[in-house]
Amino acid sequence: MSRKATNKATEYGKIEGFSLFLTNGNEANIFLGIPFASPPIDELRFEKPQPPQPRSETLQTKEFKKNCVPYVHHEIELGYSEDCLYLNIFAPSEKSKDPEDRPVLVWIHGGRFASGGAAKYGYKMLAENFVSKGIVVVTIQYRLASFGFLSLDDTILPGNLGFWDQREALLFLHKNIKHFGGNPNKITLWGRGAGASSVQALMISPETTDLFAQAIQTSNPVPVFEWTNENLTRTHSRKIATYVGCLMNDIKEIKACLKRKSTKDFHEAFELIAKNTPPKLEQPIFYGPIINQDFFHGIEELDENKKRPNLIGLSNMDSYIQSKIFNQKII
């Protein structure tokens, strides 16, 4: 059965999604694969995200995009690509009766900064659980593993690119969520695992302090990045540069060399390193936040005005890392 098309105008051009009828009789508008940044490929690899380019034609947004490149290539069954900076929006079709428009819930997936994506959470249950209650839901993707968190130098290769991607997604929403009936001043971030750690990063970074109103952290084991290891990230980044043949004396030459390597080169290096690294957990954690002056500058100056409501907790299926976590009705 064909799906009814629905169109929206954004600051970067028109998009076309489809409608979904909910069990409560309401209707949701579904938009999948909206670019919130230019593809981080070629010369934009290992660079901070750039805004998407404006389009004159209507963009079809009816299919999920591929996940970002994971740590090990066989971990992702849905396919992956470096061109992965896309978000998905699920919104009520009827206009809000509130003149300030609807609250927005932004989901950040987990995966130990090494795997995961938005597609596995789908859109049907998120629409049934949240859109049916008048909430606009957004799911985002961000660069992973070496492409998102490799760090060798605080200025040339500072790391944290995955967090800059998340920031770019929030900037996109501030410009565009009003077109979907959402209020940019009512954004709630929600993350699980590494997604919850990402929420922490976005809460304490001066770069994102004004981009959302409150947060929810699910299944984040311990406070503020203690489950990641900055030294391990830098050590592993150096190993990756060595294994792909890019460890040189000049950091700019290393970066240029890394930009020329294929994803296959990185995956072969990943697997060789993983084989020679005794895992302390089910899956070794090689990447995580780098507390430097690039993304986290000035965090010691945060004052009382920067604090926001933050809900921290666990789910009743905490170790079951599957999309079924959303298949339970929200009461």
Q: What is the mean pLDDT of each run of 10 residues along the chain (331 residues)?
A: 84 97 96 98 97 96 95 68 98 90 96 91 96 97 96 92 98 97 97 91 90 88 54 88 93 96 92 72 67 80 70 70 42 28
Beta bridge mates, 136: 104
Return the SS3 of 200: helix
What is the rounded distance in angstroms from the CA atom of residue 124 to the CA atom of residue 7? 19
Q: Where are the beta strands (DSSP E) in the chain?
A: 5-10, 13-21, 27-35, 59-60, 86-92, 102-108, 136-140, 182-192, 214-218, 310-313
Beta bridge mates, 32: 62
Helix, strand, coil content of the chain in percent (nearest 5): 30, 20, 50
Longest dimension (CA), the chain: 64
Q: For tokens 């670019």, what's the residue?
A: 35
φ, ψ for residue 67, nearest 5 deg: -70, 160
> Would you state the pLDDT for residue 282?
47
Return the SS3 of 202: helix
Q: For tokens 């089910």, what's the residue?
A: 282
Structural domains of the chain sorted by starting position, each given as residue range(s) with its CATH number in brackets: 18-39+62-331 (3.40.50.1820)
Contacting residues for 290 by C-beta, under 8 A, at least 6 apart: 149, 151, 158, 159, 160, 230, 233, 234
> Would you state the pLDDT for residue 230?
75
- Count CA atoms closer than 13 A to 306's CA, side-chain side: 14
CB 7 within 8 A of CB 58: yes
Contacting residues for 304 by C-beta, under 8 A, at least 6 apart: none
CB 143 within 8 A of CB 114: no
CB 292 within 8 A of CB 158: yes
The DSSP secondary-structure symbol of 237 reads: H
Q: How many CB atoms lie within 10 A of CB 78?
A: 12
> Would you state the pLDDT for residue 324?
43
> Would you state the pLDDT for residue 271?
83
